[in-house]
Structure formats: structure tokens, C-alpha cells
Structure 1
Amino acid sequence: NPVTGTTVNLSVLGADDGGESLLKYTWSVVGAPPAPVTFSASGTNAAKNVTATFGAAGTYTLRAAISDGSLITNSDVTITVSQTLTSIAVTPAVATINTGATKQYAAVARDQFGNAMATQPAFAWTVSSGGGSVTSTGLFTAAATAGTSVVRAAIGTLAGSATVTIVVPVPAAPSTLKLTAISRTQINLSWLDNSNNESGFMIERSLDGINFTQIAMVGPNVQTWSATGLLAGTRYYFRVRAWNSGGNSAYSNIANVKTKP
């Protein structure tokens, strides 16, 4: 006493003028315990030696009722079950964030029953694998590149961890696409670049405004392009979208104009 695990072995022995083997030992909990208690045996002679299993830390009074059929006597024992630091839970256990973004993590020290320790210790936070950094309060900052990182909270050699997936955010869609017919065979395009992380732009063309085909790609920060080799007096539809390793943006507005006759 105190108990630092989840179980304790108990023994009790009565005496009877007809022989101890005639006695039965029945176990119970007295009062209002912190949690239920189970006994490996009860109500038999063999129950003089039992294992009690507890459901939570706290103080318990256990009673062995010893009977020979007509007479009963009780033997009580008070047992204190102490919280023992057993595990650390880090939350959220799984997360996905953008490159360069932050995520707040929390850690909880748990006892042998999976309950939070009454007094929470100070945790040592680290990034045990992958990129990024974490502060002493669990604030994680993602790396500038995509990947997977493991955030770890430890107390000595005991640790808990969480996995965070770092992704490149999809660029914002370009907007305000405008077309200018320069000649019978050329249309100039211009658009507004609304993103700061695109790898480039994809330009698509259509003759009916419904069925588009990609015809060109330009680099990042480009906001103009010229379509050449077109047919005179023909209406063309264009749309543009940005792209990077995270994926493609939504499309810009669809714009249309006729080449000069």
C-alpha cells in the first residue's frame, strides 16, 4: 500500500471449528468507491486468495465476508491506488496543414487507467522526424516544403507523438481575363495573378465556350500571352488557371473575342 498498478493480490484466512475448508469468502466494496472493483473469485473457499482489479486511482475499502453457512464475520482493508504516469497523448493525433502554417498541439499525461494525471507535468516538445519546428508550448510551424512530420511530447523516456502532413496549398485562381484582337491571326490575353505560390499558368482555348483544350503553359508571375496562328473572323474563347505541386486552381472567367476579318 499504496498500489501503483491496476491490481492487487489479497489474502484473508478465517478459522472454523469444523475446519477452514468449510468457510466461504465473499468480497465487496464498502461505501462509494472512486470506480468499480472486480475480484477474481468470490463466494468460495478458494476466494481467500484473490486479485482485485481497480478502475481508477483513489482510496477503496474492501470487505471480505467470511461465513460458514450460519455465521458471518467481516474483515475490511483500506487500499490507496496511486496514479502512475503511464502514457502521454498528443492531440490532434493526425493533422494536415499548409506549408509554413502553424498548428497548436496539446499533450496530456495519463495514468495506468488512461485517466489524466491530477497534476500535469511540463513536456519536452520536439519534432522527431520530418521538417518544421515546435515551441516549448506545443506550437508547430510547418516547413516550407511538403512532407510528413512527427511532433513529440516527452517526459524523460516516456513520450507521445502525433503525425502532421504538410501540403502545398493550391494557388488562387487568376481573374479578370481580357482578350484583345490584334489582327486576323492574333489575340492577346491578359489576366490578374491572385496567387504568390503558383508554378505557372495553363491557358486553354475553345471554339464554342464549352469544350476547351490546353494550348500553352507559361511561368509564374506571367500575366500576358499572345495566341497566334488563328483563323480570321473567328470567335475564340479562352480561360486560364494557375498550378503548382499542390494542384490546379479554379479557372478564371471565360473571355471571348473575334479575330479581325
Structure 2
Amino acid sequence: MPTVDLNSDLGEGFGRWTLGDDEAMLDLVTSANVACGFHAGDPSTLRRCCAGAVRRGVAIGAQVGYRDLAGFGRRSIAMDPAELADEVVYQIGALDGLARVGGGRVAYVKPHGALYNDAASSPTVARAVAEAVRDYDPTLPLLGLAGSHVLAAAADVGLRTVAEAFADRAYTADGLLVSRSQPGAVLHDADEIAARVVRLITEGVVTAVDGTEVGISADSVCVHGDTDGAVAIARAVRSALDEAGVTVRPFVHGDD
């Protein structure tokens, strides 16, 4: 029977500003990509999110990004690769400390936003991210876009790679994500998204924006926590996977 991990970007509030419903999402996903304070998240928010993940047996991932609170990490920043690597190490360590005081630990790493896209398309950025993860802890898997440069770089430095697909994002014919600046880049119909995910996992195919059938092999599927109706979408996806006989479980456990 097919198996898949269901992940979401969480811990993205800041101070009195709340984004998404972390508690509800933690009841539905098996892995939590927790912000590390650079694109979103303050220490108290991140500590609560990690503690909630530990209570539910949800794997904690460090979602590292550019230092861009105002832009939510969705703006590319040109950086020296060594400096970028240092900032990635810094973020992993910060979240790992907050996770450990709650009885857990960072179990994997996933880039966020513009850093995710840059690492997927740029070998230089991909190498900086991969080397940072390796230098912090070579046993940590790196979660990234299926078929992208970042997974190739991670494999090259000896990391375990985990291929990711997206439930609520549109794809181009070459298997990349449609830019958020384009109409239709983010999907909102829960039933349509759920059916799309089931087909992706059971058949390895997703329909691109131009109608092309794109082959994708994914170990984990992301439902964005900041998308409108995120909880309803995650609930529909989880229910549809269960009904299709797909086992939903984390690709890594916090104590591995």
C-alpha cells in the first residue's frame, strides 16, 4: 500500500499577529515545517508550536529562509554562499533548542519561500543550503522540490533527500511551481485539491496549468498553513488519502 507524509508550514505568527491555525493543523499533518524566526515566528510562538508537535507525535522540521520578516521570506536576497550557509545553520540551531526544551528535536530541514525556489533552481544556493545542513547534523534529511537542484546537492554531500510535492500549488509543464505572481498559482477548492493529491500519490501524476500531465514522485505532500481555508483543505486531503487506502505517516520520527 502507498504511504506518504503530510506536512505544513507552521509557527508563522509573530507577537500579537497570528497566521493560520497551528493547533488544528497539527491534528491533521504528520510533519511540521516550523519557522525559525527569519521569515516569521517569535521564540514563544515557535516553542508552543514545537511543544504541540511533540504532544501529537508530529515530526519537527526547521523551515529556514532568508532574513526577511517584512516580506515573509518571499523575496530573494543575493548573498555570499558562505554567509547564507551560516544563516541556515543559525536558524536550525535556534529551532532545535526550542524543540529540545519541549522534549523533541529538529528532525529534518526544509527551505522556505524564496529560498526554497532559489535552492530548487540555483546550484549555488542549493549547495550552500545542503552544506549548512550537513555541517549542523549530517543525519538530518533535507526536504525539497522533487527533481530540483537542492535534492541533487543534498545527495552529493551525503544527506538523505525527501522529495516533496504541493497540494495547493499549481505546476508548470516542467514540474516547477507556478510563481505566486501569476493568477491561479494557489489552489483553493478543497475537494479538487484532495483528488489531485490522491492521484499524485497513487499514480505519480499531476496536471500542469497548460494541461500537460507531469510525472512526480513524492515522499511528502505540503498543505500550506497560511492558505485561506488551510484547515479544511488539510482535512479533505487527509480524509481522501485515508479513503484511498494511502497510509499517512511521517517520513522521519523525532527520535530517529
TM-score (norm 1): 0.17
Higher strand fraction: Structure 1 or Structure 2? 1
TM-score (norm 2): 0.17
| Bigger CA radius of gyration | 1
Structure with bigger RCO (C-alpha 8 Å, 6+ apart): 2
